[in-house]
Amino acid sequence: MAPRNRPDGPYPYPTHPDWVAKLCEAVANTCKAEGLIPLPEAAVKYGLAPALGAGEARRVVETQKSGLRVLRQAAFHIEGRDTPQAMLFLNVELHGAGSVQWLLNDRTRSSWVRPTPETTTLQAQLVAAEISLTRAKAGLERAKEAVRGTRSADQADKDAADTALKAAEQHHQHADDQHKQAERALNYRRPLPRISAHHEADRPTAALTTEVLPTEVVASVQQYATTKLRERGRLRPYDLEESLVQEGQRDRATVVLQRISMTDPDGTLNEAWRAVRVTGNNRAECCLRIFGLEAHQIITGVPQPMLLLDGEKEDSALILRGLGEILRRLSARLNTEYANEDRNIDGIAERAKKIAQVPVRVVIGAAEPERLEASLRDLNAHDHLRGQLAFVDDERALALWSSIVKAYQDSGLLGHLLLDHAAQDGCPPDAQLDTDAVADALLGSGLLDPLTPLLPATEPVTTQALRDAAIRCTTVMMFPPVPPRPANHIAGTHRQTGRYWPIVRKCLMEAPWSVGNGKDGQKVRRRTEVWAAAIGQLFVHRGNLLAVRAVFAPSDVQEGVRPDRRSLADILRDCENGDRQAWSTLVRHHLLAGLVNAPEKFITSGQGSEAGDNRKGVRRTPLNAIAALTRAFDKPDHPHVTRQLLLSFARSVLHAPDAPEGVLASPAGTFLAPDAHGQARPDTLADKEWFDDLFPKFATTTGEEEEAPNLDEDEEEDDLDEGEGPESSTYTRDQYENQNARMARLRLELISQLKATRAAFDGVAEQTRSLTSVAEDARSARILAGAETAPVDTIMLHLQDIKAMDDMTKALSESLMDAFKVVMEL
- DSSP letters, 112-181, are EE---HHHHHHHHHHHHHHHHHHHHHHHHHHHHHHHHTTTTS-HHHHHHHHHHHHHHHHHHHHHHHHHHH
| Residues 69, 57 contacting (CB under 8 angstroms) | no
Beta strand pairing call for 69-71 and 76-79? unpaired
Tell me which H or E stretch contains 90.
strand 87-95
The tens digit of pLDDT for each residue in 622-645 reads 988 999 999 999 888 888 999 999
Which pLDDT does position 735 carry in this prediction?
34
Question: Which band of pLDDT confidence, cut at 50, 70 and 90, is reported for residue 4?
Answer: low
Question: What pLDDT band is residue 114 in, cutting at 50, 70 and 90?
Answer: confident
Name the average pLDDT for the chain: 86
Please give the sequence-ordered ranges of beta strands (E in DSSP) within 153-306, or none if there are none.
190-191, 195-200, 203-210, 213-214, 253-263, 269-277, 302-303
Residues 24-65: tens digit of each pLDDT: 999 999 999 999 999 999 999 999 999 999 999 999 999 999
pLDDT tens-place string over residues 121-151? 999 999 999 999 999 999 999 999 999 988 8
Q: Rg of the chain over CA atoms, in angstroms?
A: 33
> What pLDDT, in 10s, does the model give residues 348-383?
999 999 999 999 999 999 999 998 988 888 777 666
pLDDT (0 to 100) of residue 185: 86
Q: Can you give the three-state secondary structure of 15-78, one letter per residue? A: CCHHHHHHHHHHHHHHHHHHCCEECCHHHHHHHHHHHECCCHHHHHEEECCCCCEEECHHHEEE
Rounded CA separation 745/743 (Å):
5
Dihedrals phi, psi of 469, to nearest 5 degrees: -65, -40
* Full-model pTM: 0.65
The enclosing H or E element of 289 equals helix 281-290
Asked whether residue 733 carries a pLDDT value surpassing 50, the answer given is no
The whole-angstrom distance between residue 774's C-alpha and the CA centroid of its chain comes to 31
Q: Where are the alpha helices (DSSP H) in 509-642?
A: 522-536, 554-558, 568-576, 580-586, 592-596, 622-631
Distance (Å, rounded) from C-alpha 582 to C-alpha 591?
12
pLDDT interval class at 612 (50, 70, 90): low
The pLDDT, as a whole number, for residue 614 is: 60
Q: What is the mean pLDDT of residues 704-733?
A: 34
Sign of CA dihedral 242, 247, 249, 250: negative
> CA-CA distance, 606 to 545, in Å (whole number)?
11
- Cα separation, 245 vs 243, whole angstroms: 5
Residue 25, Cβ neighbours under 10 Å: how many? 17
Per residue in 298-323, pLDDT tens? 999 999 999 999 889 999 899 999 99
Q: Which of the four pLDDT bands, split at 50, 70 and 90, describes residue 334?
A: very high
Q: Which residue has the higher pLDDT, 705 or 419?
A: 419
Question: In the chain, what percentage of residues exceed pLDDT 70?
Answer: 90
Model confidence at 701, in pLDDT bands (50, 70, 90)?
very low
